[in-house]
Structure 1
Amino acid sequence: MFRWYVINTYSGHENKVKANLEHRIVSMNQAPRFRRVVVPTEQVIETKDGQKVQIEKRVLPGYVLVNMDLNDDAWSVVKNTPGVTGFVGAGAKPVPLAQAEVDRILHTGTGAGGA
């Protein structure tokens, strides 16, 4: 069953981890077990040198969301991806996010950085 999981990464490396994970998914023939890898972002207007500029800001710095059908192989693909420090969960077992929480996170901003 496909569920959303949160993986920890180094803050500022989310997009690199997303790219690394997507590459590993394909190269290890695990694409059927994964639906999306997302770095949630939102559009924010900031003032810089007196000018208003629109920037894309990460909603959850240091985290990447993954929609996957978790089994040992899928877990291994994620866990052994460079830059991944672990799953969010109780002990060694990843805990899936509730769908309502995923909807809230992904719809916080206009961009979802999705794949």
Structure 2
Amino acid sequence: MVLQKAGVNSLDRRWYIIQTYSGYENKVMANLEQRIATMGMEDRIFNVLVPVEEKVSVKEGKTKRTKRKVFPSYVLVEMILDDQSWYVVRHTPGVTGFVGAGNHPIPLSEREVNEILGKVQQEQAKPKIEIDVRPGDTVRVKSGPFEGQVGPVVEVLHDKGKVKFSVTVFGRETVVETDYAELEKL
């Protein structure tokens, strides 16, 4: 089991990873949050997190948003580890155990926590955009100042969700950059 000193302070707050049944991450998070409230563990278990990333894909002119778990079958928990908090988390329905050696959970390092939380915040601010065109594909502009123009894709800027393609403007070939959502693949 887990042993903790009698004098616990806020510096003992650490992030731990718990393993769950596949596909039960959100249910475990809800169950654990409910158990924390009903068992009065708010002063020992602080945050429960299922890191997800949002992807935006545009196919055939239709935008589709999907969420994908960053760490399938795992949930992150910020807590002060002692016998009581360990028991509450470990005996939550759907939890198969802590990540660690035997019955000794190993907390995440500060660097790992900052990496994960930074990635989660970044994903919430700007979802990834999946673009299904490649250089050389022909596209048509559906809206905007170049509506109706057709041309070959020159470059795909995945991180910005934009596509550079070639169009004829005033009789000259010009490379134009536009949002992927404004295009349709031919």
Matched, 1:3 2:6: no
In structure 1, give the amino acid aligned to 2:83: D
The match for 2:87 is: 76
SS in 2 for 1:107: helix
Give the conservation status (yes or no) of the 8 Å contact 1:37–1:67. Answer: yes
The match for 1:96 is: 107
Higher RCO (CA 8 Å, separation ≥ 6 residues) = 1
Which structure dedicates a bigger proportion of its chain to helix?
1
- Residue 78 of structure 2: which of 67, 77, 84 is its match? 67
Q: Which runs of no fewer than 5 residues in structure 2 stay unpaired?
A: 1-11, 125-186
SS in 2 for 1:31: coil
The TM-score normalised by the length of structure 1 is 0.89
Q: How does 1:1-115 map to 2 (within 5 A)?
A: 1-47=12-58, 51-109=62-120, 110-111=123-124
CA distance in 1, matches of 2:70, 2:41: 27
CA distance in 1, matches of 2:58, 2:117: 25
Which structure dedicates a bigger proportion of its chain to strand?
2
CA distance in 1, matches of 2:71, 2:22: 9
Decide which structure has the larger Cα Rg and report it. Answer: 2
Moved >6 Å (runs of 4+): none
CA distance in 2, matches of 1:63, 1:14: 7
CA distance in 1, matches of 2:104, 2:97: 10
SS in 1 for 2:43: helix
Please state how far the C-alpha of 1:80 moved relative to its aligned partner.
Answer: 0.4
Distance 1:16 1:72, change over 3 A: same
CA distance in 2, matches of 1:78, 1:71: 11
CA distance in 2, matches of 1:104, 1:16: 25
Pairwise CA RMSD: 1.5
Q: How many percent of aligned residue pairs carry the same amino acid?
A: 50
Q: Report how many aligned residue pairs link the two structures.
A: 111
